[in-house]
Structure 1
Amino acid sequence: MVQAVTQPSSGLAEWQHRAGQVPPVLGEALEACASHPVNQAECVDVLDLLAMLGCDAQTQAAALWFEVARIDPALWAQREPGLPPELQRLVGGQVAAERVWALHAQHGADHGAEGLRRLLLAIIRDLRVVFILLARQLARMRAASALPEAARQLLARLTQDIHAPLANRLGIWQLKWELEDLAFRYLHPETYKRIAHLLDERRSDREEFIRESLDVLHRALDAAGIRAELAGRPKHIYSIWKKMQRKALEFSDLYDIRAVRVLVDNVADCYGALGVVHTLWPHLPGEFDDYIARPKGNDYRSLHTAVIGPRGKTLEVQIRTHEMHRINELGVAAHWRYKEGGSGDSEFEAKIAWMRRLLEPRPDSEGDLAAELHTELLEDRVYVLTPKGEVVDLPHGATVLDFAYHVHTEVGHRCRGAKVNGRIVPLTYQPHSGDRVEVLTAKVAEPSRDWLSAHHGYLHTSRAKEKVRTWFRRIAHDANLAAGRAMFEKELRRLALPAADVAKLPAHFHLKTHDDLLVALALGEVAPGQIARVLQEAAAPPVETPPPAAARQLPRDHSALSIEGVGNLLTTLARCCQPLPGDPVRGFVTRGRGVSVHRADCVSLARLARRDPDRVIDMEWGKASVQAYEVEIELRGYDRKGLQKDVTGLISNEGINIVASSSRLFAHTGEVEMRFTLRVRDFEQLSGLLARLVALPNVVDARRVSAG
C-alpha cells in the first residue's frame, strides 16, 4: 500500500504550536494565512514535507505566501515590495509553474511531457521552488480521494507526467515513490487493487521470512566484525507493476518482493557485507549491480544483489552506507544548505550543475549519465511554445526566424514576421523561455540573402543558415553570381575602397576564381566582414629586408605604423581623410607635431606634396596595431521619431566611440543626413557597423566618407 512520509496535522495554529518559535519570515507568512481561507490541512502537509526535506524557513514561507497570493492578489501586490527579494523570487517561481500546469491541462502529454518538464526547470531560477512544487503536489494527491473523478484524474496525470519524474531525477526517493503510487492508484485503480491484494495476501508469510533472513544475516555480519543496521525494504506498487510490464513477469515470478536493506558505516564495509551475503547464500547470476562504483544518473549509490535465501526463496539485498541512504532518500534536498548572503557547499553546487543537465529524454534503464545527456547546460537552451502549446527548445541566442526554420523549412522560407506573446516583433528578436511564438508567413517562399549575414543578426543556428543556403543554391548560377557581385561592389562602396586590389581574394578563401568568390558571398559562405579583413591585410605592402640603419623602419611589434627614412617619430592620423589599417598611407612631416598620416589618395596630402615634396615620406601599417582609428561615416534616410537615438544606441552597443556627430534635415522631402566621426578597430568592425545601420528602419544608406 502507499506509505506516507509524514502524517499531517489538522491546522496551522496546531502546526505552529508544535514547531515552537519560528523565524520572523515564516511567522509573517503564517499570520497572513490565518486571515485567509487557505486549505490549512494542505498547508500543514506542505510545511511538514519541506521540513522533512531540510528546506529553510524562507522556502516554507514562500509556499504559504503563494497560497495567499492566489486567494488575495491585491494583498500580495501590497505586501510583496516589502518582502526579501529571494522570497519574492520563490513565489514568482510558483506563479511561473502555474503556466506549465495550465499547458498540461490544455494539451496533456500529447505534446510531450518531457518538454513541459524542461520548460518548468528553464523558467524557475531557484531550485527551492521545485521542492515546494513537489511537496504541494504530494499533499494534494494525498487528499485527492475527496475530489470529483475528473479533477482527480487530471491531478494524477499531472503527477505522473511532471512531478514524479522530477522527483526521480532529483533523487528524492521518499517523495518519488509516494507520488508514483498515488498517481497509479487513481489512473489504474483496478490494477492497483489487484497488486495491493496480492501483497496483502502473502504479507504475514513474507514478514516472517524477512525476520528469519535478518536474524541469520545479523549473526553473520557480527561474526565478521561488521557493524550494520538491518531492515526490511518496502516494495512499492508502481515499481512492482513496472517490473512486471518491463520483464513480462507474473507477480509470483518476482524475486525482489522479499528484500532487505543493510546500512553500514563506510564503503569498505559495503563490500565486506556483500562478501558475507554471498558466502551465506548463493547469489543469482546476472542479478548484481554495483551502483557505488557506477552511480545512477541521479547520483543513486548502493550495492544490489539477489540470492537464494532461507527456505530456498529468492531475496534481494541492498547494501549502502548511512550517508548514501540519506542522499538516496532525499536526493538533492539532502545537500541543501541555505545561508543568506553566502553560497551553498560545493557538493550541492555540483548537484545543481547536474540538475541543469536533466533536460534531455532518458531511457527507463537509467544508464550512465554522460552517455545519456547532452553536455549543454540549461542556460544554453531556450524553451518556447508554439501557438498549440508544444515546447520547442532552441540554442541560447536563437531568433524568431530560427524558430520558424525549426518548425519547418517551408515555414522559415515564407516567414515575414512573428508575434511573441501576441506582440509583433522583428525577425531578429530573441525569445525567452516560456514565450509563445507565432510565425507570420507569406504565400510565396522568398528568403532574403541578408538572413545569411551575421552582421544583420537574423539567424543564429547553423541549421537554419544551411536551409537558406540550400534554397539559394537551387537558383541559377548566374543569379547567384549577379547577387554576389552586387553585394561585393556595395561593400567596396561602403568602405570607400573603389580601387581595392581583389586579385588575391579567391585564393585566400581557397576558391579558384573571382566568380566563385562572388557566388560564395551570395550564399553566405563568405561574409562581407571577412572580405573587409582580407582587403585590409592585402593593402599592406610585403615585408622587405631591413634597410640600412640610416633608413630603418620602426619595429612592427612596437608601433602601429612603420616609417621609412626616419627614426621613431610622433605620428597622428590626419582628420581630412581618416586613414584606417589596411588603407595605403603616406606621411607628411609637420613642424612640431611629428608625422601626419594620410591616405595615399588624400586630396589634402596631394596639395601639401605639391608645396613641400621633400616632407612627404613613405609609410606602412605595422602588424600589431592595438589602437583605435578615427573614421567618418555618412548615413542617409527618412526622418522618424527616435531615429537618431536608435543609430547612436547601435553604435554604442557595437563598442564604438563617437568622437563627433552632426545631422541635417531636409524638411521639404523628409530626408535626413547624419555624419559621425567614430573610433573603430579596423575594416571588419566598420563593415559590420555599416551593415547593421542599414538594417535600421528608415535608413536608406550608410557608408564611409571618401577621402578628399
Structure 2
Amino acid sequence: MLRQYELVERVKEYDPDADEALLNRAYVYTVQKHGTQKRASGDPYFSHPVEVAGLMTDLKLDLETIITALLHDTVEDTLATIDEVEELFGGDVARLVDGVTKLSKIEAMPENERAAENLRKFLLAMSEDIRVLLVKLGDRLHNMRTLHYIKSPEKRQRISRETMDIYAPLAERVGMYEYMREMQMLAFEQIEPEAYATITGRLAQIRAQDGGQVDAIALAIKQALAENGLKVEVSGREKHPYSIWRKMAERHVSFEQVTDIMAFRVIAESEADCYAAMGVLHTTWQFIPGRFKDYISTPKSNGYRSLHTSLVYENAMRVEVQIRTKEMHRTNEFGLAAHWAYKQDERPDGQVGWLRDLIEIVDASHDAEELLEHTRMAVYQDRIFAFTPKGALFQLPKGATPVDFAFAVHSELGAQTVGAKINGRHMPLRTVLNNGDVVEIIKAKTAEPQMSWLGFVATGKARASIRRSVRLKEREEVAALGAKLFDEIAGRVPAKIGKKAVREAVKRLDLEDEDELMFLVGANKLSDHRVMEALVPGSTAGLEEDGQWAKQEKAISIRGLTPGVGFRLAECCRPVPGDRIVGLRREGQPVEVHAIDCLELASGIDSDWIDLNWGKGSHGAIGRIRVILYDRPGTLAEMAAIFNQNHSNVVALAQSQRDPPFSTYDVELEVQDLAHLTRIISALRANDSVAQAERL
C-alpha cells in the first residue's frame, strides 16, 4: 500500500503546484473514516482507496480526481456525508464522489436489475463528468486484482461477468486498453478457469521452447527498419490468454490453429515514419491481405490511432505488427485519461458522441434486460466505417445496416427512414454495410420505425429507438380503443358526464392525465366498476365488482340440472346461448358447462356427463374471438367501431402476436347469444382492416 508521503511525491512529480495540504487532508480523512474496517484479504479497508488513488497517479490525473479516488468509498461505507466532503474538499470533489457513490448502492437488487440500475446511474454520472468513469474503472481494476480473496465462487463469478460485460468494454470505448486487457484477463480466469489454465499452460510451454524467438523477431524488425534510416523502438509480446481464447471461439479453431499468437509494437518518431516503416516491413516480409488496418488516417471512435498489419515470418509463422508514434501510444494505452492529465489546458467534453448514444439508450430502454442488451451492443468494439454522401464518417459495428446508419446520424432520421442508397444504388434496408460504403438515407416525414427492423439492426441505439417507438404507437392505439370503451362505460352512469367529471375521475384514480385513463381502460387494466365509481361516487352501490356480468349470469338458466345445483360456464370454450352444450359433474364442484365440440371434454372422461339445454329466455354471456388485423394506424379503432355498432361491450383485449404486416388480438366480448356473436364475426370478416376473424 502507498504511504502518505509516497502518494504526495507521485502527484508532485508531475504536478509541482498541486495543493499538498489538501491531498494530505484527504489521505488522513479516508484513513480515519474507514478506521478498523477490513477487506476480504484481511488488509485495512483504506488500503483500497489509497491503491485506486495510486492508479490515478499512474495516469497523471488532476488533483481533484486523485482526492475523489481517496474518498470514493467514504460516503457509501462510513458515516461521512456528501455535505461534509463538500465543506472539506470543495464542490467539484463532492460532485465526483457522489457520482461514484451512486453506482454502488444497488446490492440488494436481483442480479440483472442490479447490474442494469448500476449501469444506468453510471452512464448518467459519466455524462456530467467523465472523471467519474476513470475513478470507477480504477476502482474495478483494483477489486479484480484482489478478487481471489473472496471465498464465494458465485460472487467471484458474478463480479467477473459484470466486469467482462460492462467495465472492460467501457474501458475499451474510452481507449484505456491496459485496463481493458487486465480486467479481461482477471475475469477470464474466474469465468473459464479450465480454458485459462490450458491456454496459459500452452503459452508457458511455447515460452520455454522458443529459445528467445520473440526477442529475435523484434531485433530483426528493428534492424530492417534501421537499414532504411528509421529510428524506432520495437517490443514483442504474446497475446494475452483471453484474446487467444476469443479468437479460438470466433474462428472455431484449436490452439494450434491460432497462428498470430505473437504481436510486436513499433514506436516511430513521426506519423510519416509510421507509413515508411509499414512500407519497409511489407517489402521485407510477405504481408497477409485483408489484415492491414489504417487507424491513423481513420481513428477509432475512442481516439485510438495506429497501423496494424500481419506478416508471414520465417517458417510460415504469422506475426502481428502495430506501428505508432510515442504520442499515439500513450493515448492508445490510456485513452481519454491521457486527455485529463493535470497539464491539459483543453479537456474533452464528457458528452462525446458514443456517450450521447448511451444516454439515449438509457432513456429508451423499457426494463433491465433491454438496457443491458442495448448497452452491450453499444459498447462492444468490432467496427466498420461508413460515409454520408457529403463525406461525414460514422463508425458502426460489423453487421450494421442502413437503418443502424440512419439512427447513428440522428434519431429523427432513423425514425423517418423509408429506403437507402448504398454507393449510389437502391438497396434493401436489411443490407449489411461494408467498410467504406457511402450511404444515402431516403426519408419521409410520415414514416415510422417498423417492428420488423428488430430482425436485422445491429446497434443498441437503433434497437432501443425502434422498441420505444413501437411501444408508443401501441399505446396510442390502445388509448383510442379505450376512449370508445370509456364512452360506453360512461353511458351506464346515472348522470351526464362532462369534462369536469372526467378530470375528477383522473384524480380519484390517482392517474397522471386523461390519456393514461383511456390507455388503462383500453388495456383492460381498470374495471368498469372502478371507472363508474370514479366518475360518480356511489353509482355502483349494490353492484358486485363486476356487477354487470353478475346480472347477465343470472339471465342464464340451464335445463337438465337438479334444482339448486350450481353451475359455471367453462373458461376453455366459453359457451353462449345457442351453442349445443353438455355438463361435466365432479364431486363437490359446480357442474361445468361446455360446448359440445369443446376439446377439453376429453379430460372429463371420468366425470358424470349430463345432457343440458339453455333455459327459455337465456341471454348474455362472454364470447371469445381471435382477430388478425393489418398492422397499420387506425385498424384497432375500426375493430372497436364494429363492436360498438353491434352493441357489444369489450371485456378484455390482449395482443397475442405481432408479425408485420399483421397483429393478432384475442378479444372477450359481451354477447346476447350465438347469433349475436356470429353477426359480429361476419361484420369483422367483411371489413378491409381485418385479415381474419374466428371464434376461439
- After superposition, residues 357-376 of structure 1 pair within 5 angstroms as 357-358=357-358, 361-362=377-378, 364-368=381-385, 369-372=394-397, 374-375=407-408
* Separation (CA, whole Å) in 2 of partners of 1:445 and 1:412: 20
- Structure 2 residue 23 is the aligned partner of structure 1 residue 26: yes
Please name the residue that 1:345 is paired with. Answer: 346
Please name the residue that 1:137 is paired with. Answer: 140
Per-residue Cα deviation, 1:198-232 (whole angstroms, up to 9, x for no partner) = 11111134461222112222222111111111111
Per-residue Cα deviation, 1:313-359 (whole angstroms, up to 9, x for no partner) = 222111112222111111111111568xxx9627x239834433355
Q: Given the superposition, is the C-alpha separation of residues 48 and 424 from structure 1 closer, same or farther in structure 2, using an over 3 Å criterion?
A: farther
Please name the residue that 1:70 is paired with. Answer: 76
Q: Given the superposition, is the C-alpha separation of residues 205 and 395 from structure 1 closer, same or farther in structure 2, using an over 3 Å criterion?
A: closer
Per-residue Cα deviation, 1:659-678 (whole angstroms, up to 9, x for no partner) = xxxxxxxxxxxxxxxxxxxx
1:472 aligned to which of 606, 626, 637: 637
Per-residue Cα deviation, 1:634-687 (whole angstroms, up to 9, x for no partner) = xxxxxxxxxxxxxxxxxxxxxxxxxxxxxxxxxxxxxxxxxxxxxxxxxxxxxx
Is the Cα–Cα contact under 8 Å of residues 214 and 262 in structure 2 kept in the other structure? yes
Per-residue Cα deviation, 1:540-560 (whole angstroms, up to 9, x for no partner) = xxxxxxxxxxxxxxxxxxxxx
Please name the residue that 1:146 is paired with. Answer: 149
Provide structure 1 residue ranges, at least 5 long, that are not aligned to the other structure.
Answer: 1-8, 381-391, 418-422, 431-438, 448-465, 481-708
Per-residue Cα deviation, 1:508-548 (whole angstroms, up to 9, x for no partner) = xxxxxxxxxxxxxxxxxxxxxxxxxxxxxxxxxxxxxxxxx
C-alpha displacement at 1:255, in angstroms? Answer: 2.1
Between the aligned residues of both structures, percent identity stands at 29
2:202 aligned to which of 192, 198, 201: 198
Q: Given the superposition, is the C-alpha separation of residues 76 and 168 from structure 1 closer, same or farther in structure 2, using an over 3 Å criterion?
A: same
* Separation (CA, whole Å) in 2 of partners of 1:253 and 1:394: 37
- Structure 2 residue 57 is the aligned partner of structure 1 residue 51: yes
Provide structure 2 residue ranges, at least 5 long, that are not aligned to the other structure.
Answer: 13-17, 38-44, 362-373, 386-393, 398-403, 414-459, 487-502, 504-508, 517-522, 532-630, 646-696
TM-score, normalised relative to structure 1: 0.52
* 3-state SS of 2:335 partner: helix
Is the Cα–Cα contact under 8 Å of residues 4 and 24 in structure 2 kept in the other structure? no
- After superposition, residues 506-521 of structure 1 pair within 5 angstroms as none
Is the Cα–Cα contact under 8 Å of residues 173 and 331 in structure 1 kept in the other structure? yes
Q: Given the superposition, is the C-alpha separation of residues 25 and 440 from structure 1 closer, same or farther in structure 2, using an over 3 Å criterion?
A: farther
* Separation (CA, whole Å) in 2 of partners of 1:474 and 1:429: 20
C-alpha displacement at 1:74, in angstroms? Answer: 4.8
Please name the residue that 2:100 is paired with. Answer: 94
* 3-state SS of 2:357 partner: coil
Q: Given the superposition, is the C-alpha separation of residues 311 and 24 from structure 1 closer, same or farther in structure 2, using an over 3 Å criterion?
A: same
Is the Cα–Cα contact under 8 Å of residues 100 and 119 in structure 1 kept in the other structure? no
* Separation (CA, whole Å) in 2 of partners of 1:428 and 1:102: 36
Give the residue type in structure 2 aligned to 1:31: V
Q: Given the superposition, is the C-alpha separation of residues 82 and 11 from structure 1 closer, same or farther in structure 2, using an over 3 Å criterion?
A: closer
- Structure 2 residue 273 is the aligned partner of structure 1 residue 187: no
Give the residue type in structure 1 aligned to 2:103: A
* 3-state SS of 1:262 partner: strand
* 3-state SS of 2:288 partner: strand
* 3-state SS of 1:349 partner: coil
* Separation (CA, whole Å) in 2 of partners of 1:103 and 1:412: 37
Q: RMSD between aligned alpha carbons?
A: 4.5
C-alpha displacement at 1:150, in angstroms? Answer: 2.7
Please name the residue that 2:123 is paired with. Answer: 121
Please name the residue that 1:461 is paired with. Answer: none
TM-score, normalised relative to structure 2: 0.53
* 3-state SS of 1:345 partner: coil
* Separation (CA, whole Å) in 1 of partners of 2:32 and 2:274: 53
Please name the residue that 1:219 is paired with. Answer: 223
* Separation (CA, whole Å) in 2 of partners of 1:428 and 1:79: 45
Give the residue type in structure 1 aligned to 2:271: V
Q: Given the superposition, is the C-alpha separation of residues 413 and 187 from structure 1 closer, same or farther in structure 2, using an over 3 Å criterion?
A: farther
Please name the residue that 1:294 is paired with. Answer: 298
Is the Cα–Cα contact under 8 Å of residues 23 and 57 in structure 1 kept in the other structure? no
Please name the residue that 2:356 is paired with. Answer: 356
Please name the residue that 1:666 is paired with. Answer: none
* 3-state SS of 1:233 partner: strand
Q: Given the superposition, is the C-alpha separation of residues 62 and 468 from structure 1 closer, same or farther in structure 2, using an over 3 Å criterion?
A: farther
* Separation (CA, whole Å) in 2 of partners of 1:166 and 1:406: 34
Q: Is the deviation greater in 348-357 or in 470-479?
A: 470-479
Give the residue type in structure 2 aligned to 1:40: F
Q: Is the deviation greater in 11-20 or in 145-154?
A: 11-20
* 3-state SS of 2:197 partner: helix
- Structure 2 residue 303 is the aligned partner of structure 1 residue 307: no
- Structure 2 residue 408 is the aligned partner of structure 1 residue 324: no
Q: Given the superposition, is the C-alpha separation of residues 28 and 320 from structure 1 closer, same or farther in structure 2, using an over 3 Å criterion?
A: same
Give the residue type in structure 1 aligned to 2:32: S
Specify the structure having the higher radius of gyration (Cα): 1
Give the residue type in structure 2 aligned to 1:72: T
Aligned length: 422
* Separation (CA, whole Å) in 2 of partners of 1:446 and 1:371: 50
* 3-state SS of 1:231 partner: strand
Q: Given the superposition, is the C-alpha separation of residues 126 and 263 from structure 1 closer, same or farther in structure 2, using an over 3 Å criterion?
A: same
* 3-state SS of 2:161 partner: helix
Is the Cα–Cα contact under 8 Å of residues 414 and 445 in structure 1 kept in the other structure? no
2:512 aligned to which of 423, 426, 432: 426
* 3-state SS of 1:63 partner: helix
Give the residue type in structure 2 aligned to 1:300: Y
* Separation (CA, whole Å) in 2 of partners of 1:123 and 1:428: 34
Q: Given the superposition, is the C-alpha separation of residues 94 and 138 from structure 1 closer, same or farther in structure 2, using an over 3 Å criterion?
A: same
Q: Given the superposition, is the C-alpha separation of residues 410 and 142 from structure 1 closer, same or farther in structure 2, using an over 3 Å criterion?
A: farther
C-alpha displacement at 1:401, in angstroms? Answer: 12
Is the Cα–Cα contact under 8 Å of residues 297 and 367 in structure 1 kept in the other structure? no
Q: Given the superposition, is the C-alpha separation of residues 395 and 161 from structure 1 closer, same or farther in structure 2, using an over 3 Å criterion?
A: closer
Please name the residue that 1:237 is paired with. Answer: 241
- Structure 2 residue 273 is the aligned partner of structure 1 residue 269: yes
* 3-state SS of 2:301 partner: coil
* Separation (CA, whole Å) in 1 of partners of 2:206 and 2:86: 55
* Separation (CA, whole Å) in 1 of partners of 2:136 and 2:317: 42
Is the Cα–Cα contact under 8 Å of residues 228 and 264 in structure 1 kept in the other structure? yes
Is the Cα–Cα contact under 8 Å of residues 405 and 413 in structure 1 kept in the other structure? no
Please name the residue that 1:577 is paired with. Answer: none
C-alpha displacement at 1:107, in angstroms? Answer: 3.8
* Separation (CA, whole Å) in 1 of partners of 2:529 and 2:480: 8
Is the Cα–Cα contact under 8 Å of residues 405 and 411 in structure 1 kept in the other structure? no
Is the Cα–Cα contact under 8 Å of residues 408 and 461 in structure 2 kept in the other structure? no
Give the residue type in structure 2 aligned to 1:268: A
Q: Given the superposition, is the C-alpha separation of residues 315 and 401 from structure 1 closer, same or farther in structure 2, using an over 3 Å criterion?
A: closer
Give the residue type in structure 1 aligned to 2:264: V
Give the residue type in structure 2 aligned to 1:32: Y
Per-residue Cα deviation, 1:490-510 (whole angstroms, up to 9, x for no partner) = xxxxxxxxxxxxxxxxxxxxx
Is the Cα–Cα contact under 8 Å of residues 477 and 636 in structure 2 kept in the other structure? no
Q: Is the deviation greater in 154-163 or in 304-313?
A: 304-313
C-alpha displacement at 1:42, in angstroms? Answer: 1.5
Q: Given the superposition, is the C-alpha separation of residues 428 and 188 from structure 1 closer, same or farther in structure 2, using an over 3 Å criterion?
A: farther
Please name the residue that 1:334 is paired with. Answer: 338
- Structure 2 residue 162 is the aligned partner of structure 1 residue 165: no
Is the Cα–Cα contact under 8 Å of residues 308 and 314 in structure 1 kept in the other structure? yes
Please name the residue that 2:428 is paired with. Answer: none
Please name the residue that 1:455 is paired with. Answer: none
Q: Given the superposition, is the C-alpha separation of residues 42 and 194 from structure 1 closer, same or farther in structure 2, using an over 3 Å criterion?
A: same
Give the residue type in structure 2 aligned to 1:297: S
Please name the residue that 2:369 is paired with. Answer: none
Q: Given the superposition, is the C-alpha separation of residues 66 and 225 from structure 1 closer, same or farther in structure 2, using an over 3 Å criterion?
A: same
Q: Given the superposition, is the C-alpha separation of residues 267 and 100 from structure 1 closer, same or farther in structure 2, using an over 3 Å criterion?
A: farther
* 3-state SS of 1:55 partner: coil
* 3-state SS of 1:238 partner: helix
Per-residue Cα deviation, 1:590-619 (whole angstroms, up to 9, x for no partner) = xxxxxxxxxxxxxxxxxxxxxxxxxxxxxx
* Separation (CA, whole Å) in 1 of partners of 2:174 and 2:236: 24
- After superposition, residues 518-597 of structure 1 pair within 5 angstroms as none
C-alpha displacement at 1:46, in angstroms? Answer: 0.5
Q: Given the superposition, is the C-alpha separation of residues 428 and 212 from structure 1 closer, same or farther in structure 2, using an over 3 Å criterion?
A: farther
* Separation (CA, whole Å) in 1 of partners of 2:129 and 2:512: 31
1:35 aligned to which of 32, 37, 50: 32
Give the residue type in structure 1 aligned to 2:244: I
Is the Cα–Cα contact under 8 Å of residues 174 and 329 in structure 1 kept in the other structure? yes
